[in-house]
Amino acid sequence: PADDTTVECLLRNADIAMYRAKDQGGNSFHFYSSDMTTKARARLSLENDLRRAIEREELVLHYQPIVSLRTREVVAIEALARWNHPQRGLLLPSEFIPLAEETGLILPLGEWAMHSALNEVRQLVHTGFVSLRAGVNISAHQFRQQDIVHTVQAALAAADVHPYRLQLEITESVLMQNIEATEKTLRSLSEMGIELSLDDFGTGYSSLSYLKRFPIDVLKIDRSFVRDLPGDDDDAAIASAIISMAHTLGIAVVAEGVESRAQLEFLRERGCNYVQGYYFSHPLPANLLKQLLLEDSRLSSFTGENANDASTLLVIDDDAQGAAAIEAIAKAEGYRVLLADTIAGALDLLERERVGVVLCDQRMPEMGGVGFMEKLRRLYPDVVCILASAHADFEVARQAVNTGAVYKFLRKPCDPEELIAALNGAFAAHRTAAGARVSRR
Ligand code: C2E
Ligand code: MG
Ligand code: MG
């Protein structure tokens, strides 16, 4: 009776207490206290504010660069939502995304984020950052409630952006619900050419077999495993294991939350492909991000070995004679040549050496059509690929060209002039992809 004076109010307060008990897992009891009403009111007012935030343009995206450890290039920018609240100032996602999820406001918020990020990346690509992609976070609620394939298609069309530019970040919890429908959705997205990354990897409970089952392109090692690197033995073991497991499955790895040079070196030694974190940059408003991309001084302050050696050709062929002929011609043109007679050997060389162009025999036993090419493009997006074949296989050629995984298709034995022209063209394309940053400086 001390909690209010009228029956209505007492019942309302009892109700609030009951909801609190249910929120905490149910099967328990809770006493009402006046701060619950305060909190409930605050939540309600935040909810009302959030409804209007999109139309009032109070939401903004900040962008954080994702950097390739091999080329030092910014390969993608992750869009992270911020709310410029008129009274409370700049709010972080943890202060409004959960509310947006509970209230369903995540759907308009998510659409807005995707549109804005795609528009931003289109502008940056036109400015000359030709290899950039945009990473957009999709919450499990969004994935469940919405026809996400349709939403994504509409956003890409509206922004006039190629699906290849979009990286969707989903979490393990998405994979664990409604597995068959999820698989179908993810396959449709993947077939459109969109990259799928698994965010906060290691914090959820997804089974490893899901990694094989779903078309995941990238794993993002959660910040909690990166924070105490390289000193913490457990985290070091976990991070190393995630990297090698992902690579075995042909999945690239991003480490989140990289703040120090020591973390970076550890990750580089383990073959981690990309890093993201305060070491390079905090998430930035679009104009500051653009400035950072133009200056790029921080990013070039760490140098990889062989960083300048962009004129290396890797020839993958199990026919030693054919390989030797190509090697002789390429060397005469001034290129450095590496040879591999298996796909595994080639991947090993790619891990250790900086390669600009790969020339691969189409009939390599482990190739599996253009599967290897696609994997190559995913792990080493700036390596340019030439496919050579003695037996023109129309279907493979068609796929290779249509997916954009292959730069040129050559007939074997190679005509020297045609080979030289292809090599020069491929290395020029590689320089454009990898060196756009260098030439801008
Ligand atoms: P996330 O997708 O895992 O994003 C990475 C978070 O780590 C970001 O937090 C980023 O600011 C932070 N971070 C990056 N580098 C470092 C570092 O070196 N050290 C530390 N301590 N932190 C670092 P933020 O911006 O607060 O976002 C939190 C989460 O909110 C995101 O986690 C994402 O799950 C969610 N989120 C953000 N924007 C959206 C959105 O538009 N839609 C949806 N559905 N979720 C979003
Ligand atoms: Mg993310
Ligand atoms: Mg994350």
pLDDT reported for residue 330: 87
Q: Using the 8-state DSSP alphabet, how is residue 391 labeled?
A: S
Determine if ligand 1 sits within 6 Å of the CB of residue 92.
yes
Give the residue with greater pLDDT, 12 vs 61: 61
Cβ neighbour number for residue 297 with a 10 Å cutoff: 9
Task: Encode burial over 188-197: b for 16+ CB neighbours within 10 A, e otherwise.
Answer: bbbeeebbbb
pLDDT tens digit sequence for 289-347? 999 988 864 444 433 333 445 689 999 998 888 888 898 888 878 788 899 988 888 88
Q: Is 277 in the pocket of ligand 1 (CB under 6 A)?
A: yes
How far is residue 53 from each of residues 67, 113, 137, 165, 433, measured CA to CA in Å? 32, 13, 19, 27, 39
Among 137, 228, 258, the mutation site with the greatest number of ligand 1 atoms within 8 A of its Cβ is 137
Instruction: Identify each DSSP E strand in 246-383 by its residue range.
Output: 252-255, 274-275, 284-285, 312-316, 336-340, 357-361
Confidence (pLDDT) at 310 = 67
State residue 33's pLDDT score.
87
CB 190 within 8 A of CB 196: yes
Q: Could you tell me the pTM of the whole model?
A: 0.69
Contact 307, 354 (CB under 8 A): yes
Q: Which protein residues have a CB closer than 5 Å to ligand 3 (ion)?
A: 199-200, 256
Residue with the bigger pLDDT between 441 and 323: it is: 323
CB contact at 8 A, 327 and 362: no
Mean pLDDT, range 175-182, rounded to an integer: 87
Q: Which residue minimizes the CA distance to atom 29 of ligand 1?
A: 93
Ligand 1 atom nearest 100 alpha carbon:
44
**pLDDT, tens only, 187-204:** 999 999 899 999 999 888
Give the closest residue (by CA) to ligand 1 atom 46.
137
What mean pLDDT comes out for the span 239-251? Answer: 92
Q: What length does the chain have?
A: 441
> Taking all residues of the chain, what is their mean pLDDT, rounded to a whole number?
86
pLDDT for the residue numbered 368: 62
Contact 98, 112 (CB under 8 A): no
Which residue would you say has higher pLDDT here, 397 or 136?
Answer: 136
Name the burial class of residue 53, with classes exposed (0-12), middle (13-18) and buried (19+) by CB atoms within 10 angstroms of its CB. buried
